[in-house]
Amino acid sequence: MNAPERNLKLTNHRSGELAGIVRVNEEIKAIVATAFRINLMALNAIFLAKRAGNAALGFGVLSNELRRFAQDLTRHMASLRDMTSGSVGSVTGVVQQQRNSRILAEAIRLAGEVPGVREARKRGMARLSAQQVKLRALDLRLRAAVEETQQLVELGGVLARSAKIEAAYGGGFSPALMQVSTDFAEVIAQIKRSLEVLGKERLVKD
């Protein structure tokens, strides 16, 4: 592979990593919006359970737990968003260092040994290596955080299923409570799908 082909491959490689980060950010935004929706749904469910009285005490407790779940999920996604924000800077830094290194290598090839150029390229390569290490560390942190969030969402799914069971004992309010619990389950399933997408994304392409 000649130098231009190698440079094009590196450029496409890093462009793919930046595109991956953009996709991750979009999924995070979607989950944050959904978590906000769950919080509103939980408030509505709490109000509905109060109207239903003693028949919906269990449903009311679960609605409170679902609201806490939505708040915890929002915090998790804020943390993920901070991580990917740092990743954008790291990938951009890697791309810049690679570009600088190619320019210096071309200068050496065309002009021969120019005082300070080879040393500048060595320093640039050292910075590039440090940026790549940082990016890999961020990638590992992101994967761990996604796995942790997936566990939290599994808990949300259990709460939604339990709410559906409790809805059956809601007396005259049972149909309304059942609808709310069904909505909870559908929204949580949507979050699971988004997290599956996140779990497949990699900030570092091998």
Q: How far apart are CA 150 and CA 145, in angstroms?
A: 9
CB atoms within 10 A of CB 95: 19
The answer as to whether 38 is a domain residue is yes
Q: How far apart are CA 175 and CA 59, in angstroms?
A: 13
Q: What is the pLDDT of residue 134?
A: 76
The answer as to whether 86 is a domain residue is yes
Domain that includes residue 54, residue range: 3-200
Run of H or E residues at 118: helix 117-167
| Structural domains counted in the chain | 1
Q: pLDDT of the chain along its 206 residues, tens only?
A: 544 444 444 444 555 566 667 777 777 778 878 888 888 888 888 888 888 888 898 999 998 998 899 889 888 888 877 777 666 666 666 666 667 667 766 766 666 666 666 777 677 777 777 777 777 887 788 888 889 989 999 999 999 999 999 999 888 889 999 998 899 899 899 888 888 887 877 666 55
The answer as to whether 9 is a domain residue is yes
Q: How far apart are CA 147 and CA 38, in angstroms?
A: 20
Describe the crossing of helices 117-167 and 3-52 by its angle, rounded to 10 degrees.
20
Q: What is the pLDDT of residue 84?
A: 73
CATH number of the domain residue 184 falls in: 1.10.287
Q: What is the pLDDT of residue 16?
A: 59
The set of residues, in sequence order, having a beta carbon less than 8 Å from that of 66 and lying 6+ positions away, is: 38, 41, 42, 45, 156, 159, 160, 163, 184
Structure tokens at 67: 């609201």
The answer as to whether 205 is a domain residue is no
Q: How many helices (H) and strands (E) does the chain have?
A: 4, 0
Q: What is the pLDDT of residue 26?
A: 78
Q: What is the pLDDT of residue 111?
A: 63
Q: What is the pLDDT of residue 97?
A: 66
Q: What is the pLDDT of residue 107?
A: 65
The answer as to whether 11 is a domain residue is yes
Does residue 205 come out as left (phi exceeding 0), alpha (psi in the -120 to 50 range) or beta?
beta
The answer as to whether 206 is a domain residue is no
The set of residues, in sequence order, having a beta carbon less than 8 Å from that of 87 and lying 6+ positions away, is: 21, 135, 138, 139, 142, 203
The answer as to whether 174 is a domain residue is yes
The answer as to whether 191 is a domain residue is yes
